[in-house]
Amino acid sequence: MAHSKPRIPGTAQHFLECGFEDCERNCEFYCNSCHQQLCKSCRAQHLKIPENKNHEVVLYQQRRQQLPVMKCKIHPTKEIDIYCKDCNIPLCSKCSTMQEHQRHCFIDLETIYTEKFTLCQKELSKIHNYFVPISQDLQREIREDATEIQQIMDSIRTSMKAEAESLKNMVDTVLSENMEELNQIEMSLLEKLKSQEKTFDDYIAYLSDLVKEFQSYLSSTELINFTTQLPDNLKIKSIPETTKPVTPEFSSAQYNKNDVAKFLGKVIKSDRKAEVRRIKPMEIPPIATSTKSTSEHTKQDKHVKSDKKQTMSLSASVTKVREFNVPGVDCVYHVSLDQSDRLWISDIWGNLVQTDLQGNVIHKIKTSGERGYHTVTQDRDLVFTEKDKKVINRITQDNNITEFIITGDWEPLSIHFSHINGDLLVGMMIYGKATGRVTRYNKTGKELQNIQRDNKGQELYSLPYYITENINGDICTSDYNKGVVVVNKSGQLRFSYKGQESEFDPYGICTDVLGHILVCDQHSKTVHLLDQDGQFLSLLLTQQQGVEYPRSVCVDDENNLYVGQRDTNTLTVYKYLQ
């Protein structure tokens, strides 16, 4: 089990030896008169010595610091060991008898030195235990904010380009439709003109024939047989009536730069007031001088601080609230919160159902998922992985299923929607290889980040079957081969957890409002509770609470803990926070 190392103050001591003769036992006392460290046994022997009977022996924590040797400048053979309160200066014993110090008030300089020494120790302790760690945490937070800003800006750029591309496609579509309509009008007008042209071809041919007819009459004797009226077949037909074509007009759009901006959207500088970074209040633990190790003090102080800074805390016991059966599944391997009164629940066979809190089935679909493969977005869209097809699907509220993301060579195993920034965190693996990764996508499906190795080049993941996010942005993964792996939002390894026994088989994982990490262990048949930094706190649920084969855990907005198990479709609800 790997954890981040506790910070050890520079003044820490782990073991103090007795300084009496050759004794090496643990020191508990201190002689302020001869400045010697003493154990309980040697203290008695030390005071039995006649010349030591008036020595002041105190607990080690109450000791006075030994004065450094300083010679008096006025009396070089004397050491400075007195403090004049009236003149506010250190003196030697001979100086105190001088005329200018008569009737002045004197204090043992060692007392003053001890007070100042203790004050310096306290200030050093503040620097080591508070100011440096808090400053480093804030500096780290600033770096993480810079990384997050870059990711957000990249996401905005991608969205802007997508909007522009969409507008371009729309313009091309409208232009194509307008061109098609114009082509049809052109064809229609040309066909009408062609018909009119043929009409005149026929009419001119008719006139040509009529001319020949008249000429034949002019050259023959038949002309004398004409009466005053010409025969009907020699009467000239009227010129055909035709119409001029009416061409369409183009009405140009009246628009300007602002009109285009309305279509593309606009980057708006937020008017929110910048939030002052929270600085934790200072709680300096006592300087470690006892036999207990500093690391033990640090762990205890960490838990005390954690309890004080939260309005809620762990209950003394876990209480079973209720339970209900879920038709349509054989067991409960994963639970996703839909809204306050609805859940998405799946088993190991790919059956995925939506139910209310009484177990009434609202919707059911068949998938190829097995473990933590579904999540619900802020818009209540269901997003789930199809590892066999290597895609991530999305189901909207109107039940439209779309292929949202294609993952290429990687099989998506687990997925979680971030309520911090709306990203999707996906645990993946490559079939046949002992390698996995976590990929972050934004809400449009753009790949933002890949987390695969630590800073030493070692593989972080193998089979990331379940994934979630903590309140501080940490990405918590339950990997069947690697245990619980936790990285920060930049992808840097924070810690890993491999259980309390030699074998640890993690399944479902979730976090709560206090930053606790809850994970199911198949081997011990329990639910482990860790703090935000990976410190084991307790076995939250065991067989005594009716848990036999825990597979899934989920905490809702009311801090109810839902637990699903193997071999049963019963979902049990517990209370463990108060």
Please state the rounded mean pLDDT for residues 381-397: 91
> What was the pLDDT predicted at 286?
45
Quick one: which of 441, 352, 381, 438 has its CA closest to 405? 441
Q: What percent of the chain has pLDDT over 90?
A: 44
The whole-chain average pLDDT of the chain stands at 85
Is the pLDDT at 89 greater than 50, yes or no? yes
Q: Was domain 310-577 assigned CATH 3.40.50.150?
A: no
CA distance 487 to 449: 13
* More reliable by pLDDT, 257 or 74: 74
CA distance 1 to 445: 35
> What was the pLDDT predicted at 397?
80
Whole-angstrom CA distances from 381 to 361, 376, 396 are 17, 6, 5
Q: Which pLDDT band, with edges at 50, 70 and 90, does 225 fall under? A: low
> What was the pLDDT predicted at 573?
94
Of 37-41, 297-301, 520-524, the least confident: 297-301
Domain layout of the chain by residue ranges = 29-113, 114-264, 310-577
> What was the pLDDT predicted at 576?
93
Q: Which pLDDT band, with edges at 50, 70 and 90, does 305 fall under? A: very low
> What was the pLDDT predicted at 455?
79
CA distance 307 to 240: 102
* More reliable by pLDDT, 456 or 550: 550
Is the pLDDT at 235 greater than 90, yes or no? no
> What was the pLDDT predicted at 434?
76
Q: Was domain 29-113 assigned CATH 3.90.1420.10?
A: no
- What pLDDT, in 10s, does the model give residues 38-54? 898 898 888 888 888 88
* More reliable by pLDDT, 496 or 219: 496
Adjacent-strand bridge partners of 71? 79
* More reliable by pLDDT, 24 or 328: 328
Task: Please indicate, yes or no, whether the overall pTM of this predicted structure exceeds 0.75.
Answer: no
- What pLDDT, in 10s, does the model give residues 239-273? 999 999 999 888 887 778 877 777 776 776 766 67
The answer to whether domain 29-113 and domain 310-577 are alike in fold is no
CA distance 264 to 163: 6
